[in-house]
Amino acid sequence: MVQYTRRFRAAQSTLEEQPGPTVSIIGNSLVARYYYDNPEHLKELGGIEIGKYVAGGIVVFNLDTKQVKWSVQLDLSTDTGKFRAYILSSPTVVDLDGDGNLDILVGTSYGLFYVLDHKGKVRENFPLEMAEIQGAVVAADINDDGKIELVTTDVHGNVAAWTAQGKEIWETHIKSLVPRGPSIGDVDGDGRTEVVVPTLSGNIYVLSGMDGSVVRPYPYRTHGRVMNQVLLVDLSKRGEKKKGLTLVSTSFDGYLYLIDGPTSCADVVYIGETS
Ligand SMILES: [Ca+2]
Ligand SMILES: [Ca+2]
Ligand SMILES: [Ca+2]
C-alpha cells in the first residue's frame, strides 16, 4: 500500500454545544512525516518522493481525553495536478437526519463534496462532484419548507443546492471563483430566504433560495476581491420595523461595505486595508 505525506491545512470547529465529551473536528492535510523522516523507513516506499503527494482527511479529537477519536482519509493526489487533495475550509457539522448525532460536511480541492456520519462513514450518494471547492458547505433551510438543504460553491462559480440525501435541487453559474461559503438569510425582508455569495470578481450575489435565480438589483459590485463570507445583520433599531437585512463585507478595494438588503444601497467606510 502506498503511504503518502499529509500536511496540515487546519481549520477547526469545536462541537461545544454537544453534551458529553467535547470533540474537535479538523479537516486537514496532516504532516505524517515523522515516520518517513527516518531514512530506513523511507526506503520502504521504493523511491517515491512523498513530498509530492497530498492527502486530505478528517480527524476527530476528543478534547477531554486529548486523544484521536477517529480519522478518515478522503482524497489523495499529487501536489502538481489540476485537482489536489487539500481541504481549505472548516468542516460544517450538523445533524442532517435528526438521529441526535452530528454529521460532517466538507468540500475538497479535489472537487468532491463529502457528507460523513458521526463515525466517519461516507453517507450514501456522496461524495458529489464539482470543481475545486474552497468555501465551507452551508446547511440551512433555504427554500422555507422546514427541511435542511446543503449549499456548495466552487472555483468556477457554480453554486449548487442539494437535499440532505444528495439530490440536486438547483445549480446556478455566477462566472467567478467563490472563495468562501455563502450566507443565508431573508435579505430583502419578503419572507423568503436568500443565499448570499461572495466572489473573487468583487460581485456579491444574492440568489433565491427557492430556485437559485439571481435576485435583483444584485449582484452588488465592489471594486476589489471579496474574500470573506458576507455577514448578514439586522441593523434595525429597537422598536423600529426595518425590512430585510444589511450585508456587511470587506473588499480588496479597501472599503467596508454596509449594503441595505432590499435596495442594495450601500454605506461605505474606507478602512485602507487592501490585503
Ligand atoms: Ca445525524
Ligand atoms: Ca428546505
Ligand atoms: Ca427574501
pLDDT classification of 39: cutoffs 50, 70, 90: confident
Q: What is the rounded average pLDDT of the residues 222-231?
A: 97
Give the ligand with the smallest distance to the CA of 245: 3
Average pLDDT, the chain: 87
Phi, psi of 231 (to 5 degrees): -90, 130
Distance CA 261, CA 268 (A): 14
pLDDT digits (tens, 9 = 90+) for 129-153: 999 999 999 999 999 999 999 999 9
Residue found under cell 466572489? 199
Confidence class of residue 9 from pLDDT cuts 50, 70 and 90?
very low
If one counts every other C-beta atom within 10 angstroms of the C-beta of residue 273, the result is: 11
Compute the distance from residue 116 Cα to the ligand 1 centre, in Å: 9
Which pLDDT belongs to residue 13?
Answer: 35
Which residues place a Cβ less than 5 A from the ion ligand 2? 141, 143, 145, 147, 149
Query: 182 to each of 20, 22, 83, 120, 143, how far by Cα in Å?
Result: 31, 27, 22, 25, 15
- Under the banding of pLDDT at 50, 70 and 90, the label for residue 24 is low
> For cell 473536528, what's the residue?
25
Model confidence pLDDT, tens digit, residues 119-134? 999 999 999 999 999 9
* Cα separation, 180 vs 168, whole angstroms: 20
For ligand 3, the distance from its centroid to the CA atom of residue 9, given in whole angstroms, is 36
Ligand at minimal distance from the CA of 96 is 1
| CA torsion, ordered 125, 116, 53, 29, to nearest 10 deg | 150
Cα–ligand 2 centroid distance for 162 (angstroms): 10
Mean pLDDT (whole number) for 29-39: 63
**pLDDT mean over 155-168:** 98
Give 109 Cα–ligand 3 centroid separation in angstroms: 31
Instruction: Please list the alpha-helical segments (H only) found in the chain.
Output: 33-36, 39-42
Write the CB contacts of 42 (distance below 8 Å, at least 6 apart in sequence).
36, 50
Find the angle CA(225)-CA(231)-CA(233) to the nearest 5 degrees: 145
Q: What is the pLDDT of residue 34?
A: 61
Confidence (pTM) = 0.84
Distance 70 CA to ligand 1 centre (A): 17
Tell me the CA–centroid distance for residue 257 and ligand 3, in Å: 20
Q: How many whole angstroms from 252 Cα to the centroid of ligand 3?
A: 27
- Give tens-digit pLDDT for 68-115: 999 999 999 988 888 888 999 999 999 999 999 999 999 999 999 999
Q: What is the pLDDT of residue 2?
A: 34
